[in-house]
Amino acid sequence: MNKSALMERAVHLALKGSFTTRENPNVGCLIYKSGMILSEGWHVAPGSNHAEVNAILNAESKFKDSTKDVLDGSSLFVTLEPCSTEKRTPPCTDLIQKYSFKEIIYMQSDPSQKGSDILKEKGFGIERLSLNNSVLNNGFFKHLAEGKPYVRAKIACSMDGKIAFKNNNEQWITTQASRKDGYSYRAISGAIITGSGTLETDNPLLNVRLEEAVNDQDFKQPLKALFTTKSYIDSNKKFFKDNSRKIIFTNNENLEMQICETLNTEIVRVESDANQISIPSVLNYLGSINIKDVLLEAGPRLISSFIDSNLIDEYIFYIAPKVLGNKANSFYTNKNLEGILNSPDLEIVEEKSIGRDLKLVLRKKNAS
């Protein structure tokens, strides 16, 4: 296997932690020598061993007293530069130095760490190997650089960009397969954002129901964030009926406080922007509580506000082969679907069919 293929394998390992690392980066690691992968590991959850440590510990478990000899002259591939500081776990550079690796090959640099410099000074070969269109750690890097989360918007719409039926007699525009695919984005998010209009119209639960996520003992339901300018919120809505943490962001001083009696719900008052909730203020607040990735699942008004503020880093479109015309509302009133898809500021990073629907993922060209 060549180096790129080995790093691709490390990326595959990193993604095994997608639903559980949450505020931590997804990291995968493998140890390679003489045409064989000797050991593998990945980071599972905050506070647990890092990927490099798990790969080395797995090698120790496998090779017992022969571990040092077996790993002598091997190559350690890791998707993120090894950490050099102690937080909840010791620095990975300490354990790496106990073995005679020929080289440490990493994919992503971590500006908060000096692992590559430390290991290079200790005589290890160091190489950075980048892969195009890496799907790893956009939220981690944006939060590191700006203190704010990476924003994904999930939009299920028709070919003419319609998102919600006006009479609400029909609830779904796209197929069940598309909806299931979309649930994975909830599972990788630290928070899900919606608005009070969606709460009233659709009465969504907005939780994660993917079996592979909820059956994992390290998985936690994401925070649910509600935008409202109203003075009353019905606490009997499904949104409030689970144990996940919930925050209501409002600029209305008269919002009834009885909502706080609902399980695990708090009210956060934020600044106004033209009588609307300041989205940057909300994103700054979420960043301050260590939320790295958010998913926007909302109606046209809130989606349009995010678009107009240029605060969406990634769009996930599920487009049904339908034209709904005047039967439904557009997801964005200031520009049609084609205008968004052809924006010079966005690039298509994924395009595939899901049943009869088309999935398109577009990312800001300067996104983390």
CA dist list (Å): 66 to 36, 62, 74, 103, 269:
16, 9, 14, 20, 60
Please list the pLDDT of the chain residue by residue as tens digits (368 residues).
899 999 999 999 999 999 999 899 999 999 999 999 999 999 999 999 999 999 999 999 999 999 999 999 999 999 999 999 998 899 999 999 999 999 999 999 999 999 999 999 999 999 999 987 677 999 999 999 999 999 999 999 999 988 876 665 556 889 999 999 999 999 999 999 999 999 998 899 999 999 999 999 999 999 999 999 998 888 889 999 998 999 999 999 888 766 666 678 999 999 887 788 999 999 999 999 999 999 999 999 999 999 999 999 999 999 999 998 887 888 887 766 777 888 889 999 999 999 999 999 999 987 65
Q: Which of 40, 52, 81, 297 is catalytic?
A: 52
Asked if domains 3-136 and 139-364 share a fold, the reply is: no
351 noted as active-site residue = no
- Parallel, antiparallel, or unpaired for β 103-108 and 75-80? parallel
Q: Rounded to two decimals, what is the model's pTM?
A: 0.93
Three-state DSSP state, 273: strand
Q: Where are the domains of the chain?
A: 3-136, 139-364
Residue type for position 288: S
Looking at domain 3-136, its CATH architecture is 3-Layer(aba) Sandwich (3.40)
CATH topology of domain 139-364: Dihydrofolate Reductase, subunit A (3.40.430)
Instruction: Report the alpha-carbon distance of residue 325 to residue 310 in Å, rounded.
Output: 27
Torsion angle (degrees, nearest 10) of CA 302, 307, 308, 313: 130
Interatomic CA distance for residues 192 and 297, integer angstroms: 7
